[in-house]
Structure 1
Amino acid sequence: MTDTKIDGPPRLSRLTFHNPLSEDRASRLVQRVARNSPSTVLDIGCGWGEFMMRVLVAAPGATGRGVDINAEDLERGRREAEGRGLAGRVEFLEKSAQDADLGSADLVLCLGSSQALSSVAPPEFTLEALRALRGLVNDGGRVLLGEGFWERTPTAEELAGMWPGAAVTDHHDLATLLDLAVAAGFRPEWTETANLDEWEEFESGYQADLEVWLAQNPGHPSAAETRERLDRHRAQWMTYRGLLGIAYLTLVPAQ
């Protein structure tokens, strides 16, 4: 999913998280990873860092670093951190996760961003990203991975209706994903998956600002391009709805 800034509407203002993640699940995940008392948090592909900042609130002694290449999201994160009194405890870096010297952390977050850690083509990139995460987390720490998986194997017709170039090899099934995490040097402490309500909340929120703007500005010079993009993405979503899942894996580095 590619974000293109269109003159006029706000960008993704309806989304709290840039993932299919409900408030209830986010709260449980935050408490689970904060229970390990991390002192350092690293967020790969952080966006505006909502989840990371909630961890910092739950772990008052922790500091955080968020890494992303989207300057607009990072600026939103800095504003949010300032408003929550976290500016002195969190840093937002506009860098590629592959190019940056990320160091290591007690808690590494990678929520829907594993592609930022590997340039290897699917399906091998998943294992490479997991190995990179193992190298970033301190012994005794945790990784929270949000990763896509196939709920079932999609047909050729279904793949043709998804994102350009969609292939069966773009994702694994959940069992294989867990096996790859173990092969990369982790033990899965907790496994959970987003439900349909969370997906619908996310996908609707992803489009909502532009849909309302388009309805109110049909004559804008960007309206035709915006309409085509929204209709295309909605058709893709209706195709992978119920097929594409996302797992939230709390991973313990094996020593």
Structure 2
Amino acid sequence: MTTHTRLTFHGPLSSGRATAIVERLAANRPRTVLDIGCGWGELLLRVLDAVPEARGTGVDIDEEDLARGRRGAKARGLAGRVEFVAESARGTGRGPADLVLCLGASQALSEADAPTAEALHALRGLVSDGGRVLLGEGFWERTPTEAELAGMWPGAGASDHVSLAALLDLAVEAGFRPEWTETATLAEWEEFESAYQADQEVWLAGHPDHPDAAELRERLDRHRKQWMNYRGLLGMAYLTLVPVLR
């Protein structure tokens, strides 16, 4: 059974928004691009397409995603300018880079239960002066109730995320100025969450009596119920951050 073939990005990011982000980041002409928790590195590859002189490195621990990234790079003629590396990003020495991408992956830079603040300080050490960081980070649209949290992911707590205003304050405290602030729309969330499960949902509908069907059905139903609990509560911010000169 194939999975995630409907996903372009591993997060609520539309192709239209991605195009605008890439144009803005490419205008700074980065020579080196580092993607933390890159997955299959779709945005990384789009930046390299837009900046022919740039070279990129994607870091992740998921071998399947990395293999997909390598296939994508080869198909686009970018294999000679990008490396997908299977390793932890915690304490990485791969910076500084002119552009650092960290989309929904701040946990890759910190062991803290709420990793955002620590991850932002790590990102400041990974970006070169005059460079840019693109941070994709969750935030609460409003503080969820205990009942709402109980229906989300296991162990969900109000401290897992902060508000958008508090997230921007954390970025400033870590040594950045926000060049651009934008947030995922409900439509982007719905496209992502639907595409995340679509392959498996279609397979399950056609194989209801398969030996693996019961376990898969339980997992899909559980995730859908979790999504319905954080739908409209969990936001995703895309922050283009400029490091303050030290």
Report the TM-score range of the alignment, normalised by the length of the smaller protein.
over 0.9
- Cα RMSD (Å): 0.7
Give the match's secondary structure for 2:162: coil
Number of the residue aligned with 1:127: 117
CA offset digits 1:133-191 (Å, max 9, x no partner):
00000000000000000000100000000000000000000000000000000000000
Number of the residue aligned with 2:25: 33
CA offset digits 1:56-78 (Å, max 9, x no partner):
01111000000001000000010
CA offset digits 1:27-82 (Å, max 9, x no partner):
00000111000000000000000000000011110000000010000000101100
Deviation at 1:99, TM superposition (A): 5.1
Letter aligned with residue 211 of structure 2: P
Deviation at 1:222, TM superposition (A): 1.1
Instruction: Give the stretch that moved more between structures: 212-221 or 228-237.
Output: 212-221
Q: 1:147 pairs with 134, 137, 140, which one?
A: 137
Please, which runs of 5 or more residues in structure 2 have no aligned partner? none
CA distance in 1, matches of 2:179, 2:147: 36
Please say if residues 123 and 133 of structure 2, whose CA atoms lie closer than 8 Å, have aligned partners that are also in contact.
yes
Q: Given the superposition, is the C-alpha separation of residues 99 and 132 from structure 1 closer, same or farther in structure 2, using an over 3 Å criterion?
A: closer
CA distance in 2, matches of 1:31, 1:207: 30
Number of the residue aligned with 1:89: 81
Deviation at 1:220, TM superposition (A): 1.6
Deviation at 1:89, TM superposition (A): 0.3
Number of the residue aligned with 1:6: none
Normalised by the length of structure 2, the TM-score is 0.98
Q: 2:243 pairs with 235, 246, 253, which one?
A: 253
Please, which runs of 5 or more residues in structure 1 have no aligned partner? 1-8
CA distance in 2, matches of 1:129, 1:253: 14
Deviation at 1:104, TM superposition (A): 1.5
Letter aligned with residue 151 of structure 2: G
CA distance in 2, matches of 1:111, 1:94: 17
Deviation at 1:120, TM superposition (A): 1.6
Give the match's secondary structure for 1:88: helix
Number of residues paired by the alignment?
245
Letter aligned with residue 93 of structure 1: V
Number of the residue aligned with 2:216: 226
Identity of aligned residues (%): 71
Give the match's secondary structure for 2:80: coil
Deviation at 1:103, TM superposition (A): 2.5
